[in-house]
Structure 1
Amino acid sequence: MVRHEMTDRTNGGHVSEVLIERYALGQQVSPEAEWAVEAHLEGCALCRAKLAEVVRSDAPAVSAVVDSVWSRVDSLVDSSVDAEVARRPKALGHNRFAAWLSTWAPPAMVPWVGMSVLVTAIALLCDLTGAFGFDRPSMLLLLSPVLPLFGVAAAWTRGLDPAWELVAPTPRSGLYLVLRRTLSVLVVVLPALVVAGLIAGTSPALGLVPCLAFTAGTLALGGFVGVTRASIALGGLWCLFVVGPALVRTRLPAAFEPWAMPIWGAVAVLAAAALVMRASAFTKLTSQR
């Protein structure tokens, strides 16, 4: 009954013009119909336009009040912004820089990127002090492929980013934003790996190429299961089946031999191709939990 009262079937199921007019002018409308009209107006731009037209033509007093309120709000906002700029120009510039920086690495990612750098420093310390014995393979080299995954895990995930629901629907979100944030992780972690490798006396290339392959593979797998889950899965498997056995056998795995570097490069290229093919997965609001 309410549905019949609210909609006009000859008009595609929209609110009837009669009901819109009664609703706009405050005339007698049943509570059920009023609730249904308001619920329909939230998702129907056509009916909202009809309502605005009725208000302008049949209720000029209401339209005048609305216009005066918006005018007052605009003046208050402009005056407060001008006062803030005059009072704290440096802080405003800092806020602009922080806003720009947040497009590359939001605050939620900072502790995770810092974790990657911290683990890099700990691995370097283990190599320099021989914490696992001087005949053990380099911990820095063993962990280098998965060190960026701490930051990558927070690049596109609802659970680790408090502002995810605000950022995800924006036009430049999705794969574009994921790649920007991942690049911000690599810009910090890769130089740290290079410097640590030079200090430890290991070849940086032996760790950097697998590192890039793991990063691309994580993002590609993240298109199916979520970036955080992909990071945990790949990082856990690497530590379980490569790092652990290497420490037990006291020798470097074949994955770090020079002949394995082209294979890692091919893996990175294939993962990047798969990532591009699954780009649409990063634009779904229901994904990346």
Structure 2
Amino acid sequence: MTHVSPAALAAYAAGDPGLDDVTAWGVEAHLDACARCRARLPVPELLDRVRTGLLDRAAAGPGPAPVPGRWRRWTGWSAAGWAVTAVIAVLAAFLLDRAYPQYPSAVLLVAPVAPLSGLAVAWSRRTDPAWETLAGTARAGLELVLRRTLVVLAATLPALTAAGLVLGESPALWLLPALTLTSAALWLGGRIGVAAASVVLAALWTAAAVVPAVVTATDPPLIRAAGVPGWAVAAIVCTVLALLRADGFRRLRSWR
């Protein structure tokens, strides 16, 4: 076997610009197969060359990405558009109630599912560009999803409260169903993903409450005062189940 000459080896290690590409490639191929020539490499010169090259590239490249602020631990920019949409939906329901008081309350029909769309946006890989980073942090479990749930509720409940007060509706008629469906979305979210759970629950609510209200023009049993005790029990049960499924939010499937 013909070994690399000392001159070529030194030029390669020093990054000599006079060393043509063909010779450099030949030296690299030989070093890959020859331990003897690798041992002859002037390691300090080679390391200095690599270090200088890396520092030059780092200086010429883009700067480091800014560290996400404290708000990123609670929510993302995608939630801003949803919050505006939720408030508009509540306002539209309120206007419908004022214009057509003889029909079932649109606010009561919208309130239970209003937070679900926010959960679908706040905890989904499709809407959060930083979901990989967040999913790999130590707080990526139930703590983070509860923080984002609180943000969703903080954006939704004030609008619902104001609409309910003006319409004279009891808070229990809309607050308990909203909390129940939110807790149920967290419970199912650990298994099938929060976004998918929100869609499933919204579809079930539409079939069980919205459609009957539209067809019969009367308040369905689910939003009557007689159903309040049942909603209270359901809210507690769903909350306990969500807490028992806390480990589900440490898996990437919850972000689907």
In 1, are the aligned partners of 2:193 and 2:253 still within 8 Å (CA)?
Answer: no
| Distance in 2 separating the partners of 1:203 and 1:154 | 29
In 1, are the aligned partners of 2:97 and 2:106 still within 8 Å (CA)?
Answer: yes
**Runs of 5+ consecutive residues of structure 1 not aligned to the other structure:** 1-25, 31-54, 82-94
Structure 1 residue 160 displacement after superposition: 2.1
Q: Counterparts in 2 of 1:1-289, with a 5 A limit?
A: 28-29=31-32, 59-65=43-49, 99-130=69-100, 134-289=101-256
In 2, are the aligned partners of 1:108 and 1:162 still within 8 Å (CA)?
Answer: no
| Distance in 1 separating the partners of 2:160 and 2:150 | 15
| Distance in 2 separating the partners of 1:185 and 1:243 | 22
**Residue deviations 1:95-133 (CA, integer Å, cap 9, x gap):** 98x822222120122222222211111100101111xxx
**Residue deviations 1:241-282 (CA, integer Å, cap 9, x gap):** 211112222222222333422321221222122222222222
* Number of the residue aligned with 1:84: none
Superposition TM-score, scaled by structure 2 size: 0.75
What SS is found at the alignment partner of 1:161? coil
Structure 1 counterpart of 2:225, which letter?
P
Q: 1:218 to 1:206 in 2, by over 3 A?
A: same
Q: CA RMSD in A?
A: 3.0
Structure 1 residue 73 displacement after superposition: 8.2
| Distance in 2 separating the partners of 1:286 and 1:205 | 33
In 2, are the aligned partners of 1:224 and 1:281 still within 8 Å (CA)?
Answer: yes
Rg larger for: 2
| Distance in 1 separating the partners of 2:158 and 2:95 | 17
* Number of the residue aligned with 1:5: none
Structure 1 residue 287 displacement after superposition: 4.7
Superposition TM-score, scaled by structure 1 size: 0.67
**Residue deviations 1:31-71 (CA, integer Å, cap 9, x gap):** xxxxxxxxxxxxxxxxxxxxxxxx9xx82233444555677
What SS is found at the alignment partner of 2:31? coil
Structure 2 counterpart of 1:61, which letter?
E
**Runs of 5+ consecutive residues of structure 2 not aligned to the other structure:** 1-27, 34-38
Q: Percent identity?
A: 37
| Distance in 2 separating the partners of 1:191 and 1:144 | 11
| Distance in 2 separating the partners of 1:265 and 1:62 | 71
In 1, are the aligned partners of 2:180 and 2:235 still within 8 Å (CA)?
Answer: yes
What SS is found at the alignment partner of 2:102? coil
Structure 1 residue 76 displacement after superposition: 9.2
> How many positions carry a matched residue from both structures?
222
Greater relative CO (CA pairs within 8 A, separation 6+): 2
